[in-house]
Structure 1
Amino acid sequence: MPTRIVFVRHAESVRPSLGVPDYDERPLTSAGLKAADSLVARLSVFAPEAVLSSPQLRAVQTVAPTATALGLVVTTWPELREWESGLLPSADWERLYTHSWAHPEFAHGSGESLDALTLRAGKALERMAAEHPDATVLVGSHGTFLSRALVAAGRHADWESCRAMPMPAIYEVVC
């Protein structure tokens, strides 16, 4: 039986400040925390053996209530973090992201290209399958990372589907 990975895009988070680097401890809003609590019944049905997450707080906070309800701990993996785009939050972020999706080999400054992110996501999927064979794993994630993980798994994801992804969102991948 293959490994089933249940990705959860984080719930609504506090918006990043324009012009300054984003930070890992950016939390969920009060609405996001309520949404994370409301996911417990829905995510518990998957009966995960493990709960993994990006180390970024908003992803951890989204899966933590389910982990607690199931008596599991949230284990963070650095490779599950959001796209290291090299961009500062800005008013023209959509134009810059559109360019990146049209040219996934392109990297902004010292940032990671979307092709590099897809490779990182694919390696994370392989690691999950190796460490949790024949099991279900719940993963707290982010929109761009999750979209590129879908691409790495052979599924379709593009800029439009990434932009339209709700917070929170649930996707399954089988490896």
Structure 2
Amino acid sequence: MRLLLIRHGETASNVVQALDTAAPGAPLNEVGVAQAEKLAEQLAMEELDAVYSSPLIRAKMTATPLATTRGLLLAEYAGLREISAGELEMRTDMDAQLAYRDVFFRWLQGDLLAKIPGGEDGRTALERFSAVIERASADGTESLAVVSHGAMLMTWLASRKSNFDLSLLRHAPLQNTGVAVLESGPVDRWTVHSWQGQPLSSGSGGANRRAARG
């Protein structure tokens, strides 16, 4: 299966770096609306069987032009929502940002029970997202676009067996309407062909890290 992982467009919460993870969430701002329209144009030549979206309003607003231009019905799945910030919801301070990110790194180091008070653990978050992708594959979907959220997408991708190098996120984190293009392989292995328009080698992300520094 060919899988396009897409982060939603910009919102007012993104601008102030608020941990906005609860439903319905902030809508796209003017920049985000323009980004969503441009995304549909940029991916016009991409053959898609389906477009899935998180139920949060910013993801649906981003995915709608992509689905509409192809005459596809937009499918919403709760499993694609953002990772819950729990008690840190809507905080904008650096301490909250670091605490939120620290949980994801603990998951990637094997501590899937780590969570923010009032939030969710790694097993729950990663399994709900994976279940949506696995269902699409089981249904015979060959090309799927998924519009979700930065933390969810980056953490899920980093947790998969793939050629993706986690250190790439320090140099080129997933931007609003950024796209990662993946292909599924044997034994749950994924090959990342491109990261936000930049080709990624089949062996590692090293070439991309060098380019990102420039």
TM-score under structure 2 normalisation? 0.71
CA contact (8 A) 2:11 2:27 kept: yes
Q: Percent identity?
A: 24
1:24-173 matches, cutoff 5 A: 24-86=24-86, 87-90=88-91, 91=93, 92-104=95-107, 105=112, 106-133=114-141, 135-155=142-162, 156=164, 158=166, 161=169, 164-173=173-182
Aligned with 1:173: secondary structure?
Answer: strand
After superposition, give the CA deviation of every residue in 1:109-138 in whole Å (9 maximum; x if it has no partner). Answer: 2311234322222222211211234x1111
Q: Would the alpha carbon gap of residues 94 and 110 (structure 1) be closer, same or farther in structure 2, given more than 3 Å must change?
A: closer
Amino acid at match of 1:57: I
CA contact (8 A) 2:9 2:28 kept: yes
Report the Cα distance in structure 2 between the residues aligned to 1:20 and 1:62, rounded to whole angstroms.
16
Higher relative contact order (CA 8 A, sep 6+): 1
Amino acid at match of 2:48: P
Instruction: Give the superposition deviation at 1:152.
Output: 4.2
CA contact (8 A) 2:22 2:84 kept: no
The RMSD of aligned alpha carbons is 2.5
Amino acid at match of 1:43: L
Larger Cα-atom Rg:
2
TM-score under structure 1 normalisation? 0.85
Q: Would the alpha carbon gap of residues 67 and 47 (structure 1) be closer, same or farther in structure 2, given more than 3 Å must change?
A: same
**Gapped regions of structure 2 (runs ≥ 5):** 185-214
**Gapped regions of structure 1 (runs ≥ 5):** none
Greater CA deviation, 14-23 or 113-122?
14-23
Aligned with 1:7: secondary structure?
Answer: strand
